[in-house]
Structure 1
Amino acid sequence: MRKYLLAATAALALATAADAQEVRISMGSYNLNNLPFMVAEGLDLYAKTGLDVTVENFASGGSKTLQALVAGSTDIAVGFYDHTIQMQSQNKDVVAIVDLARNSGLVLAGGPESSFDPAKPETIKGAKIGITAPGSSSDFFVRYYLKRHDIPEDSVSLIGVGSGSTAVAALQQGKVDLLVNYDPAATFLEEKGVGKVLIDGRGDEGAKAIYGGIYPTSVLYTRADFIEDNPETVQKVVDATVEALDWIQHHSAKEIVAALPEDFISGDKETYTRAVENARPIFSPDGRFDETDVRTPLAVLKSFNEKVAGADIDLSKTYTNAFVDKAHVAVNN
């Protein structure tokens, strides 16, 4: 039987609330790319490592979370890896410390009145496209799609609609013609007959078709100075997150949903559970970053982001496997 030993487990198990190290963690939404973090919260894994975590959900996409991190109003962000690349192009050191989703869970869905046909990319012109928020990875998805097919960006309208039920409602109410979003929204809209997934990036083949490679998305990232000043806190956060990733690999979708705090669950549990099952391919099994895969977000960003295209990006500074490697102390009984 294999199990993972968290750093100083025996000592930390005796930690009292008064001794717990405080850490602020913010997230942009409850989309399923962030599920491993939500599982770690639901199983009290952060508390068990001796942390007192304050969680803030901005519910408006990853760009707000990134702003909070850079401003110092949060310590660690649950956001997308490509934000670390953006920050390096602006001479800001933001480092991903554990990978949650090894692939994009994004899908592009169309409503009943949508005339977009993926086989004819030019039919996207004139569409009102819902994204989680400006500057988010759903925003990047659309811009990269347009770029690859030589379609002017101003030929579509991008509208921030958030994620989950609010995003589905925007499509259902006709506020947008197309929706780029994640599970659970992707599963909800098909289950409820609101729309149909037209481009699916949840699996490896879909991601390669969209981006040309595997695209690591949701991660925990923080500022380089926070890592330097708080290495023990960072290690505890990573330890708990890695344990959650391993737990997900060995439990059913139903068990995963049962472990989540109620406010993390969108819609009815039955549909949400199917969404978790549909999203399974995207979760990292171990939290490690692959040096080949991280090149895909860089290529995507360089295609339309002038600052990134003009910067000398050192990808080795945008992530670290050091804390994940320490978390993976495997023993055989």
Structure 2
Amino acid sequence: MTRLHVSATSHWPNYLPEYVARELGYYEAEGLEFSRSAPDDWTQVLRDLEGGTADVVLGGLWVPAMYHGRGREYRAFAQLNARNPKALVTREPVADFDWKDLEGKIVLAPGAGGTAPFVHTAGLMRAAGVDMSKVRWVRDLSGSMLTELFLGGMGDALVTDLVNAQFLEHRRQAFVAVRHDRAGGLMPNSVYYTTDDVLARDDQVVQRFYRALQNAYDWLKAHEAAELTDLLAREWPSLDTGVLVSIVDDLRASGIWDDLRISEDGYGEWMRILVEDGLLDESPAYDDLVCNDMVLP
């Protein structure tokens, strides 16, 4: 068996194919001894990769993009989320929401786990013609803290992940006004990346890992979430499993797990937003950051 450890920026249901591959024995079938960790400080994932504790990182593509040409080179080889599983919620239901409705409002956007919740939201708002000078932001705090503050009365809208958004709506505490997966189209939100040295290993550990994930993707396309009830209850015991099953089926239908390959169109649009927001000077060429040839014969 070949060891493969993933250091991930979180442990959450939108990463489900990774758990399905473990549950159904797809890693073992590839001769992989799979393990994963999700450190409290997400930046630990980079230290894990550089120190050899991890072989692969699961996180945002913006990290390899920002480091490209600035001291570290990483290559993404698969997207676990082909769309951004985020949503903007409000305290009351909003019919016919328009991004311009946020002008004159205060929006809470978490940032302790990464920059995408704010940057992607802001990019969609600019594309919709929002006067950004009229929107006030509360940023850079954890999602759990901002959710608690929002429920306590702070701000007018909250950017959160789709799972949390749908649980808030289920409890009638907040209501989904717009979903990033629908409004934003293709966007490689969570990707697997590593170093060229790992990609070039003779044992093809990354390629075997990719094939196990592809099998999990294929299984999820053919089976409903109810068949994963035990897995969901075991991995996320604090969440209502019945509600979570319906949320997972919604994620299956959303296109978030349609394709492991990183879309060039989605890549281009995400890089455009990152440049627009000042995180990048210019968009790295697709082939500089992405290795999309992972399937073994």
Shift of residue 266 of structure 1? 4.8
Q: Which amino acid aligns with 2:261?
A: R
Q: Which moved more, 1:50-59 or 1:190-199?
A: 50-59
Shift of residue 44 of structure 1? 3.3
CA distance in 1 between counterparts of 2:162 and 2:207 reads 29
**Which residue of 1 is the match for residue 136 of structure 2?**
155
Structure 1 position 207 matched with structure 2 position 184: yes
Shift of residue 168 of structure 1? 4.8
CA distance in 2 between counterparts of 1:73 and 1:131 reads 28
- Corresponding residue to 1:303 among 255, 267, 276: 276
Q: How many pairs align?
A: 292
Q: Which amino acid aligns with 1:198?
A: A
CA distance in 2 between counterparts of 1:143 and 1:68 reads 31
**Which residue of 2 is the match for residue 5 of structure 1?**
none
**Which residue of 2 is the match for residue 288 of structure 1?**
261
Shift of residue 191 of structure 1? 0.3
Q: Structure 1 pair 103/145, CA: closer, same or farther in 2 (3 Å)?
A: closer
Query: Once the two structures are superposed, what CA deviation does each residue of 1:212-257 show, in whole Å capped at 9, x if it has no partner?
Result: xx21222221122221246521122111111111111000021234
Structure 1 position 92 matched with structure 2 position 72: yes
Shift of residue 76 of structure 1? 0.9
CA distance in 1 between counterparts of 2:73 and 2:262 reads 17
Q: Which amino acid aligns with 2:246?
A: R
Structure 1 position 54 matched with structure 2 position 22: no
Shift of residue 108 of structure 1? 0.9
Kept in 2: contact 1:109–1:199 (CA 8 A): yes
Q: Structure 1 pair 173/254, CA: closer, same or farther in 2 (3 Å)?
A: farther
Shift of residue 299 of structure 1? 0.7
Query: Once the two structures are superposed, what CA deviation does each residue of 1:290-311 show, in whole Å capped at 9, x if it has no partner?
Result: 22221111111011124x1x24
Q: Which amino acid aligns with 1:293?
A: G
Kept in 1: contact 2:85–2:256 (CA 8 A): no
Q: Find the residue that maps to 1:219 and give its secondary structure.
A: strand
CA distance in 2 between counterparts of 1:120 and 1:77 reads 37
Shift of residue 192 of structure 1? 0.7
Q: Find the residue that maps to 2:72 and give its secondary structure.
A: coil
CA distance in 2 between counterparts of 1:85 and 1:313 reads 7
Q: Which amino acid aligns with 2:180?
A: G
**Which residue of 2 is the match for residue 315 of structure 1?**
286
Shift of residue 272 of structure 1? 0.7
Q: Which amino acid aligns with 1:81?
A: L
Q: Structure 1 pair 131/68, CA: closer, same or farther in 2 (3 Å)?
A: farther
Runs of 4+ more than 6 Å apart: none
Gaps (5+ residues) in structure 1?
1-19, 209-213
Kept in 2: contact 1:43–1:260 (CA 8 A): no
**Which residue of 1 is the match for residue 157 of structure 2?**
178
Shift of residue 151 of structure 1? 1.5
CA RMSD of aligned residues (A): 3.0
CA distance in 2 between counterparts of 1:201 and 1:43 reads 30
Q: Which amino acid aligns with 1:236?
A: R
CA distance in 2 between counterparts of 1:132 and 1:43 reads 34
Q: Which amino acid aligns with 1:32?
A: P
Q: Which amino acid aligns with 1:52?
A: E
Using the size of structure 1 for normalisation, the TM-score is: 0.76
CA distance in 2 between counterparts of 1:68 and 1:154 reads 38
Gaps (5+ residues) in structure 2?
none
**Which residue of 2 is the match for residue 250 of structure 1?**
222
Kept in 2: contact 1:133–1:139 (CA 8 A): no
Shift of residue 104 of structure 1? 1.4
**Which residue of 2 is the match for residue 40 of structure 1?**
21
Kept in 2: contact 1:161–1:170 (CA 8 A): no
Q: Which amino acid aligns with 1:215?
A: M
Q: Structure 1 pair 273/250, CA: closer, same or farther in 2 (3 Å)?
A: same
